[in-house]
Amino acid sequence: MKHSLFVFLFLTSLILSAQQQDKVDFIQGKVDINIDPKVETITGSVTYKLKVLQKVDTVFLDAQNINLKEVKLNNKKVKTTNNGKKIVVYKRFKANKTYTLDITYTANPKQTVYFLGWKDDLLGNEQVWTQGQGKYTSHWLPSFDDMTEKVEYDLDISFDKTYEVIANGTLVATKEQDGLKKWSFNMDNPMSSYLLAFAIGDYHKAEVKSNTGIPIGLYFYPSDSAMVEPTYRFTTAIFDFLEKEIGVAYPWQNYMQVPVRDFLYSGMENTGTTIFSDSYVMDTIAFKDRSYVNVNAHEMAHQWFGNLVTEVDGNSHWLHEGFATYYALLAEKELFGEEYYYWKLYETAIQLKELSNKNMGEALIDPKASSLTFYEKGAWALHILRDQLGEKDFRQGIQGYLKKYGFKNVTIDNFLKEMEGSTGHDLTAFRNRWLVDKVFPLDEAKKILVSESEDLKTFFELQKDMMTSSMDNESVIKKYWENTHSDQLKAKIIKTYFKSLSQDFIREVLRSESVLVRQALATSIVQLPLDLKSEYESLLDDGSYITKEEMLYKLWINYPNEREKYLNRTKGIIGFSNKNIRILWLTLALLTKDYESNSTNEYYSELSGYTSPIYSNEVRQGAFQFLAQLIGFSDNNLLDLVDATQHHSWQFRKYARSLLDELLEKKEYRDRIDRLSVKFNKEELRYISNKLISE
């Protein structure tokens, strides 16, 4: 009976919250928190200023497993309930009156706030950071999971003064008290709660300014000072381009970018404070292979599309991700040229068509659509819309849309109506074709690409000639190859038609100075002929970590008598932040007979050590893969693998659990893991016990 009553009251509260919360406007939230990373708790308070638009008798806030200490309304205690998901404040609220709501609380968040490096012996790797989108800020702050409630937040954060604290807004004051330091941040404009964020760690900062005077803070680890320029290359150029292209001034006071370890995604566009994966912190060589430019531009574009103007709900998610993807592509077009832009559109068109061919195509109005649909099909839809409306009308419509709905919430229909009203175009056919239809129209997309891209026009003609010409394949390829100066087109030809290329043709390609063209060859070749041995060896010296990794492995496989030479030539190379080349090198060194036998234990210790939680999940996964496939696991590796099954990153956690399942199928590993169970923590033991029982 009590259980049934609780369910009834809970469901009633949900219905009432939907009906009544639009009668209340939360205007401002002043947050004051103290973070204790060693016990992973947040203690603090929030003071909300709210205006009642129509009389109501309850006000709701989302609060996931938050413990309330005290709740006051206008400085007086007020009746409150807390069911572990929502806080309900009971009062006869009068229309057109402003109230102050004070909440004092503690939180022990199991998600949304992540504490890294506080339980190991390595100094300087400690971090605390947030991820609100999809995880809900209400896990650490009584707030609003509904994106339509926009609040102007000001954050005060108390923490150990030896670290740097970064949060939304302008840092207006710092104060040391009780052995801690308090950072005070001020925001000028309202935002949805999921965009509230902070990051804490050992950081230095470089600062630049946009053409319009917006301060841009570029944070980095003290050991990464040499990587600041290549990591943040083109940041001000992107910012200035977006302001000019969008035609609406940047809507926030400042902009900061903060790398963190083991982030859940590539980046997150918190208001004025992008947090991104430190795997994008890179040197000048890595920049050529996988730069931060696209992620940088994508998260920056969200400051307008998502943060300034926010979707009402997931049905309009295109207005966030499709727009950010599209404007990031436009920024890359500005930096790297038109053909770069069109090649990226073509590659995503192929992916989207493959999805359609599997009967897995999705509509952009589907809130459950995949990232590929929201991001890439979303960008395509905007490219088409711009083509249909024309440059001038498209920009005019976008500006009108942002100005009308700034600091508000919108639906796709709101956007289309604004574009129609601003330009005089009927967008019914566009909506049906690009937003509602699940099938990606590749033929239509290719016609547009042919009309706009010389590279793709040439490539499609080559494809046709390869099927219809009476000449042999290589002769057809040569005809097109000799008539283009495009490295992107040449790289695509190599990847598509490598099997049709003779050794003489490949020899000519290897004389190219283009890193991109040579990389295409390195990734396409499998067997290396003796006649081209020296030419392929030259690829080890290319300014590309992808090329170096590919060729170290392929040369080692194809020329076993030369393995020592290749290992010596690449001995000191680390590669990307995931240590891709170093981990491969250590594995090959251990597998090469008699190679530096006095150092075998040292090399094994280094490779085996990379599975430790002190390293990023990318480094750990690389080490796990090579050890699992070729060398085997020590007890410490098994403990590290079990640790990884509880990791906060779902991708890495999924990988670790899958690998563990494979090991548990082997009696030797099953017995060893069983013996090691005395060293597991509570969560690990629960997970492994269930596995061992189920097996």
Secondary structure string (H, E, C) spanning 148-212: CCEEEEEEEEEECCCCEEEECCEEEEEEEECCEEEEEEECCCCEEHHHCCEEEECCEEEEEECCC
Nearest CA to 255 out of 302, 287, 223 is that of: 302
Question: Judging by DSSP bridges, how do beta strands 198-201 and 164-167 pair with one another?
Answer: antiparallel
Q: Mean pLDDT in each 10-residue stretch from start to end of the chain (695 residues)?
A: 43 48 95 98 98 97 98 98 98 98 98 96 94 94 98 98 98 94 98 98 99 99 98 99 99 99 98 99 97 99 99 98 99 98 99 97 98 98 98 98 98 98 96 98 97 98 96 96 97 98 96 97 96 97 98 98 98 98 98 97 98 98 97 97 97 98 96 95 94 72
Strands 215-220 and 255-260: parallel
Q: Check residue 178 and give its pLDDT.
A: 84
* Nearest C-alpha neighbor of 560 from the set 584, 591, 524: 591
Rounded alpha-carbon distances, angstroms, from residue 459 to 436, 446, 478, 484, 509? 30, 11, 13, 10, 18
For the four alpha carbons of 338, 343, 346 and 348, in that order, the dihedral sign comes to: negative
Map residue 324 onto helix, strand or coil. Answer: helix
Phi, psi of 544 (to 5 degrees): -150, 125
Domains 2-202 and 309-441 share a fold: no
Tell me the three state secondary structure of residue 106: strand
pLDDT at position 177, please?
Answer: 86
Per the CB < 8 A criterion, the answer to whether 151 and 29 are in contact is yes
Q: Kindly state the tokens that stand for 582.
A: 């170093």
Residue keyed to tokens 């991001």: 375
CA angle 405, 406, 408 (to 5 degrees): 65
Q: Looking at residue 66, what is its pLDDT?
A: 98
Instruction: Give the largest CA-CA distance in the chain.
Output: 90
Q: Which two tokens stand for residue 43?
A: 């203690």
Helices (H) and strands (E) in the chain, counts: 28, 23
Give domain 2-202's CATH number out of 1.10.260.30, 2.60.120.380, 2.60.40.1730, 3.40.50.10140. Answer: 2.60.40.1730
pLDDT of amino acid 695: 58
**225 burial level (CB within 10 Å; 0-12, 13-18, 19+):** exposed
Residues 6+ apart with CB under 8 A from 215: 207, 208, 209, 254, 255
Q: Give me the torsion for CA of 553, 554, 559, 562, rounded to 10°.
A: -40
On whether the pTM is more than 0.85, the answer is yes
Query: According to the CATH classification, is domain 309-441 in 1.10.390.10?
Result: yes
DSSP string covering 638-687: HHHHHHHTT-S-HHHHHHHHHHHHHHHTSHHHHHHHHHHGGG--HHHHHH
Domain ranges of the chain: 2-202, 309-441, 453-570, 601-695
